[in-house]
Each structure stands twice: as structure tokens, then as C-alpha cells.
Structure 1
Amino acid sequence: MRATTNPELAAAWATVPDVAKAQERHEAAVKLRRDFPRGKTPTEALAGVQAEAIATFTDTGKWPTDYAKRVAKAHADAVAWESEALALRRLEDTTKAAAEDLRDSLSTDVLEHLDGRLKEILDVAKDAGETLGDVTTAEQAIEAGGDVLDAWRRLTSLLKDYRNVRDAAWDVLRAVTGMDERLRMRQWREAGHGEVKDVRMDEVPAHVADVMRSGAYTVEYLVWLARSRSAFVPTSFDDLEFAVTSSTAPLAYDDHGPIVDLSPRVVPERTYKPLGTGRDPRPFTY
């Protein structure tokens, strides 16, 4: 989770406060490490005391009588500083890993929330679309006026909410996937996937597919989406991949009817009885 200006994403993450709390802990750890004053390592501290003692002897011809005390204090201070610096670095790494693990494990909850928001938006859009009728432009809506114009305005405001939901979903999916998966998602998004499921892409009207690929959402597209009842928010990378595969897999037809087995039959070998078999062996008498 990162700081965001997308209200839909912020609201979605707010449904899982543990993630926000873990992120706050990590950000606080980062600030502690950055604000920690610069110090010296034990090696640097000892080298400094030695340099000062040598400089003193060079100037005065006298070796500092408190040299041992200076060395002990410098070393002790440096060890304490280095220990805390290392602890703060470890704290930053640990809280980062904890926040990322929690975010990954609860990302499904966030995406399910966004899917619910999508359905809410499209329910309102469907009602407004019925009022709109065949109107597809702002000019037509202004000319019609009344309820039609109100419906157009309502749909226009819903466009922003819809776009925020879509952007939020992609942001979450990118955050919880690896580099290779992110590359595939970008290609899928550019091809128009991730908007609908249970619909083959070659069955989507051309002007609708153009909007899916460009992301330049329109009122007409929003109404079509609401009427189709096929819009969804993928709840995971696997969910998205399944939808992509289902919408692009080639259709298979059998134009030849049922399969007939034409392989040669194996007929049991015939057996023959010798001639005379079955006759009475006794001689014929009159």
C-alpha cells in the first residue's frame, strides 16, 4: 500500500485497517532511520583518536596521558551508535516485509471490495441508461432536456468513479505480482482485457472494444457495460488470466458428426473338425 490520491483505492484499503497500520509502522521506521544522526563506526572512531594523539605529539612532543581513556570512550560511543544504526536498518526492512506480506495476503479482500463498488456504480448506470434511451451524445441529451439530461449528468459523474475503480484494481494487482506477471497484465490491459468476463472478445462490438483498449471511457460505454452485466474486477492474477484465456480461446467444432471406428476388426480364428467326426464307428449290419 502506498499513499494515493485515488479515493476508491483509499476507501478499499480502509476496509482492511491492519494493512494501513502496518504501512504506518513502516513509514515511521523509515523516518527514524533517516533522522538518525550521522556517527562513526568503531574503526573510524579509533582512527580519529589516533590521528589526534599523533598530531598532538607532533606539535608538542608529548603523548596524551589520557589516550587510553579517549580510545575507550570513542570505541564505546561508536559501538553504541553502530548498533542502533544497524537496528534501525533492520527495523525498516522488517516492517517493510511485514507490510508487503500483509498487503499481499489481504489483497483479495480489497479487490472484492472494488468489485462490489463496480456493481454499485453499474446498477446506477443501468437505471440512468434506461432513462437515456437512444441518446448517445451530450448534444442529444441537452436537446432532450428533463430527465434525460439529468440521467446524462449522473452518468457523466459516474464515469469518474468507474475510472477510479478500474485504476485502483490495476494498482492493487500490480502491487502483488512479480515483474513477469506485471508485463503480461500490461499487455492484457492494452488489448482490452480485465473489463468483462464470460464474453468472447470477438463478440464485443468494435466501438466498445476500442474503448476497452484505450481506456477512454464514455457514457455510451458505461451504459453498454451496465446492460451487459459482464463487468468484473479480477480478484487475483489467476482470476484475470482465466478470464483472458476464456475470452480468447479458439472455438472447436466437429463438422463430421460422431466418430466412427474404422479400424480392422479382429475375428477369432475358425477351427475345423476332421471328416467323419461324429459318425458311429460300429460297422453297418443288415
Structure 2
Amino acid sequence: MRASTNIELTKAWATVPDVARAQERYDAIVKLRRDFPRGATPAEALAGVQDAVIASFTATGKWPTDFARTASKAHADAVVWHAEIVALRRAEDALKFAAEDTRDSMAPDVLTHLDGRLTEILSAAKDASTALGDVTTAEQAIDAGADALDAWRRLAGLLGDFRNVRNAQADVLRAVTYGDEQARMRVWFAQGHGEVRGVRLDDVPEHIRSVMCSHAYTVEYLVWLAQSGKGYVPTSFDDLAADVEAATEPLAYDDHGPLYDYSPRVTPIPAPQPPKVFAHSSTPNLDDSKPRPSAPKPNAAVSDREATPVF
């Protein structure tokens, strides 16, 4: 089992009945295995009987007539003992893996419980912070007087609970993520994600964001988080990923992408030009029985041909 001294994590797991039952079964089998009397394997039991007979014969020169019966009983007793101790060890391993699987499958439940604990802690911290005023350090609290000092002491106690919740959150999320997901989660935590929901990290004051990245929590940070009303515990990797995406997406973007004009394009028809009539042009004579038509009036001239260069 994953051992932990984090009281918040222990209490959180205890709130999930299936996990508590699996842990109870595991603890019981461990106790049975540890309390089981020491014994010998069948081979060790036979070797012990043989060694005793050899020592007796060496001392007395007499071989016992009940050797077979003694050896048979020692071997039979050892077989029974060995079978049970092996069964206890196998049961311990099986219950250990079953309990771990139960924990992993119930991780969203325990993370939801931790989110509720965080809400309780932040609510108490917000109430206590009203007496602080502008106090941000222990020295300032001492100088400010009794009310501020009492509030600071209360917040210092809540800070320990807050750290336990955050450590428990990280422990559970690490246990249920593998490979690439776990690597991405480490990067996100180092960037300050997983602390506040619905807040862009660029909008967080620099000294507060520094604490979010380092996880070196202070009373000042606890007060800021309590007053922001945005603190939360992700209930799964997907929940954390969605928050990261929301906190890093652009402030404004076009859902539909760039706009294109697909309306028909109409090309205007150019005005017709009159036909060109040159001085050498003539009107076609379609009927020789009639007088030849007069030549048309020229409206264009033939341009001079470009001179061909001589090399």
C-alpha cells in the first residue's frame, strides 16, 4: 500500500467506503501473516530430523527404529505449515494490488472530498483575514496588535491544513496518471496550474504567481486565494487539462476562422470597337448585275513595319 503521513490524505481515503474496506482487509491479512508462528519448509524439517538421527548415532552407535515415523510426521507438519504461510503471503500480495486498484478507481471521489476540505479551509481563512488589514508578515502582525496577531496565528494553523490538502491532491493525481500525462501534469504544476479555476495566470500578481509555481505556500498567499474565491482541487487529469486550456487560450478568437467572399464575380463586357477601314479596302461586290459599290471611307491607316535590324 502507498503509505502516507499526510493526515488530510488519510482522512480523505477513509471517507470512501470501498477504499476503507479494502484497506481494512489488507491490514487484517498483514497482521495474520506477521502473527503466524515460525516454522520450517518440508525440506528443512526433513533435514532437521536427519541431522538429529546422525548426531544420536554418532554418540550412541544406535540407529532409532522410529526414524521413518518421526521423519514422516515432521514432513507432514511442515507441509501444512508451508502451505498456509504461502497462502497468507499470496493473499497479502493479492489484497495489496486489489486495494491499490480500488484507490485508483475511486480517485475522483477522494479528490472531490479534498476539494470540499479546501473550501472549508479557505472559508475559515477568509473570515480570519478580515482582522489583518494590510498585514502581510508575522512581524507586521505583532506590531499591529492582539486582533491581527490572533488572526495571523489562526491563519498559520490553516496554512498547515492547506499544504496537506495540496500535497494530497498532487499525490492522488500522480498515482492515477502515467507516461505522457504525468509529464504534462508536472509541467502544468510548475507553471502554477491546478491552484485557481477560471483565472488566467497572466492576470495573477507576480509575487502570487511565484508561490503558485514553487508551491512554497505562505499566509499571504492563503489570504489572497481565500479572498479570490477561485481556489479548487482538480477531480481528475481531464479536469486539470480543461482548466489549463481555459487559462491559456487567447482572450479573443474567431470560432469560424477567416472570412472568404464566395459571391459570383462578373466581368463587364467591353464596348464594341468599330471595324477598321483602310485606304486599300473595298466593298465586296456580291452581284455583278448591279453597279460596283463605291469604296468605303477609310478610318485607319496601315502602320509602318518595324525595321529589321541588320547584323
**For this pair of structures, how many residues does the alignment match?**
264
Residue 268 of structure 1 is matched in structure 2 by none
- TM-score, normalization: structure 2? 0.69
For residues 177 and 29 of structure 1, do their structure 2 counterparts lie closer, same or farther at Cα, with a shift above 3 Å needed? farther
Aligned-pair distance for 1:259? 1.7
Residue 193 of structure 1 is matched in structure 2 by 193
Residue 91 of structure 1 is matched in structure 2 by 91
Could you tell me which runs of 5 or more consecutive residues in structure 1 were left unpaired when the two chains were aligned: 266-286
Residue 226 of structure 1 is matched in structure 2 by 226
Question: Does residue 1:77 correspond to 2:77, yes or no?
Answer: yes
Deviates more, 1:58-67 or 1:134-143: 58-67
Deviates more, 1:169-178 or 1:203-212: 169-178
Residue 205 of structure 1 is matched in structure 2 by 205
Deviates more, 1:189-198 or 1:143-152: 143-152
**How many Å separate the matches in 2 of 1:164 and 1:11?**
11
Deviates more, 1:88-97 or 1:63-72: 63-72
**How many Å separate the matches in 1 of 2:131 and 2:52?**
87
Q: Secondary structure at the match of 1:101?
A: helix
Residue 15 of structure 2 is matched in structure 1 by 15
- Describe how 1:25-64 pairs up with structure 2 within 5 A: 25-50=25-50, 63-64=63-64
Please state which structure has a larger fraction of its residues in helix: 1
The CA deviation string for residues 47-94 of structure 1, in whole angstroms up to 9 with x for no partner, is 444555566667777654333323321221121111111111122112
Identity of aligned residues (%): 68
Matched AA of 2:71: V
Q: Secondary structure at the match of 1:136?
A: coil
- Mark the structure with the bigger radius of gyration: 2
**How many Å separate the matches in 2 of 1:73 and 1:139?**
78
- TM-score, normalization: structure 1? 0.75
The CA deviation string for residues 188-225 of structure 1, in whole angstroms up to 9 with x for no partner, is 33332221122222332211111112222222212221
Q: Secondary structure at the match of 1:132?
A: coil
- Describe how 1:238-277 pairs up with structure 2 within 5 A: 238-249=238-249, 253=253, 258-261=258-261
Deviates more, 1:150-159 or 1:47-56: 47-56
More RCO (CA 8 Å, sep 6+) = 1
**How many Å separate the matches in 1 of 2:123 and 2:190?**
26
Matched AA of 2:242: F
Residue 217 of structure 2 is matched in structure 1 by 217
Deviates more, 1:168-177 or 1:203-212: 168-177
Q: Secondary structure at the match of 2:260?
A: coil
**How many Å separate the matches in 2 of 1:78 and 1:164?**
49
For residues 169 and 60 of structure 1, do their structure 2 counterparts lie closer, same or farther at Cα, with a shift above 3 Å needed? same
Q: Secondary structure at the match of 1:198?
A: coil
For residues 77 and 154 of structure 1, do their structure 2 counterparts lie closer, same or farther at Cα, with a shift above 3 Å needed? closer
**How many Å separate the matches in 2 of 1:63 and 1:151?**
86
For residues 68 and 243 of structure 1, do their structure 2 counterparts lie closer, same or farther at Cα, with a shift above 3 Å needed? same
Q: Secondary structure at the match of 2:81?
A: helix
**How many Å separate the matches in 1 of 2:71 and 2:151?**
80
